[in-house]
Amino acid sequence: MAFDRSKIAEKTCKVLCNDYSVKLVEQNKEKAFELADKLNNVLIIHGDYRS
């Protein structure tokens, strides 16, 4: 599971999604939709991971 959109998180998800079930939590709704379009095999969750 990765938190927040960063270049490192995005690249890590791209590599890991081939062999693992990957989830990424993004606070910004628009960025979450962008990531969902980019990372087809990654579950993108829109929410606040701090609480």
Between 35 and 3, name the one with better pLDDT: 35
Could you say which DSSP state residue 38 is in? H
> Each residue of 4-43: pLDDT tens digit?
667 888 888 989 999 999 999 999 999 999 999 999 999 9
Each domain of the chain, given as residue ranges in start order, spans 2-46
4: β partners: none
pTM of the model: 0.79
Q: And the tokens for 25?
A: 């939590």
